[in-house]
Structure 1
Amino acid sequence: MSDTRSSRRVTGVGTVLTFVYAIMALGATGRSFVQIVERFDEAPLPYLLSAASAVVYILATVALLLSKSRRWYRIAWIAVAFELVGVIVVGTLSVAAPDIFHADATVWSYYGSGYYWIPLVLPIVGLWYLASQRKKVVA
């Protein structure tokens, strides 16, 4: 009985995690689209990084949905790990070089502070979730 509850709980976490990734994908996509269309000349590098974060969130969402297969499980690991590296690198650069990385330039600026640090916490939870699902992945 405890195995069933445990598996349901993890599935619930996976569902919530995927839902949050989908919301972030929509938000990052909309944000980057508006930035690129309306103000690209103001900060091209951060706005392109904003678009890249949108692609990462979309890929992570799809990969998490399909992560029961080995291929998508690996893609999910890569996308979520890339996201964590992106948040750390862009967050650090936005602190170290604020003239290049405006406070509102990307989802990952200032470690995602504009999104209540969800971009920083989300990949950590995502990596934990993926590690906990390793045995459930189908070959």
Structure 2
Amino acid sequence: MSSPARPRMTGIGRVLVIVYAIMALGATGRSFVQIVERFDEAPLAYTLSAASAVVYIVATLALVFAGRRGWYVVAWVAIVFELVGVLVVGTLSLVAPELFAHDSVWSFYGRGYLFVPLVLPFLGLWWLATHRPAARQTTPDTAAVAS
């Protein structure tokens, strides 16, 4: 007897993963070029670009595997970190522009990325909140083992 098919990510979840993957690629490429070519010009901004790239990579992977409980928690942590990062860096780039000699991915709330970094974590958190992984059902056999 075959096992039931695992539901695949569809609709907005799939679009969300694609956008996160694009942001991961864009932020990784940007930070790599910035760090290799001009790190001494704006180390804070370029380090923040690299940090955002890591966050986007982790968030992409976590959203893909969010059906597994551990990855679901990782997705929450990564996307909350992303939201805090874009809000803090965006605000600092407005009130203390001298800290950012050059833009990072999250500078001015992601202005260089059409404000996608500002909107994306809200969509990600909404998706996670509305698509919780199913709780594992307890059968009499597993209940006996658990006790």
TM-score, with length taken from structure 2: 0.84
2:83 & 2:121 partners in 1: Cα distance? 5
Structure 1 equivalent of residue 125 of structure 2: 127
Q: Does 1:92 align with 2:94?
A: no
2:30 maps to 1:31: yes
SS of the residue corresponding to residue 68 of structure 1 reads coil
Residue 108 of structure 2: which of 85, 110, 118 is its match? 110
Report 1:46-57 matches (<5 A): 46-57=45-56
How many aligned residue pairs are there? 130
The root-mean-square deviation of aligned C-alpha atoms, in Å, is 1.6
Distance in 2 (CA, whole Å) between partners of 1:54 and 1:138 is: 31
Q: Which residue of 1 aligns with 2:20?
A: 21
Q: Which amino acid in 2 is paired with 1:99?
A: E
Q: Which has the higher helix share?
A: 1
Q: Which structure 1 residue ranges, 5 or more long, are not aligned?
A: 1-6
**Structure showing greater Rg:** 2
Q: Which blocks of at least 5 consecutive residues in structure 2 are unaligned?
A: 1-6, 137-147
Q: Which amino acid aligns with 2:125?
A: L
Deviation at 1:138, TM superposition (A): 5.1
Partner Cα distance (1:75, 1:129) in 2: 14
Q: Secondary structure at the match of 2:48?
A: helix
Structure 1 residue runs of 4+, over 6 Å off? none
**Pair 34,138 (structure 1): closer, same or farther in 2 beyond 3 Å:** farther
What amino acid is aligned across from residue 120 of structure 2 in structure 1? L
The structural deviation recorded for 1:11 is 2.7
* CA–CA distance in structure 1, aligned partners of residues 127 and 32 of structure 2: 30
51-60 vs 10-19, greater mean Cα deviation: 10-19
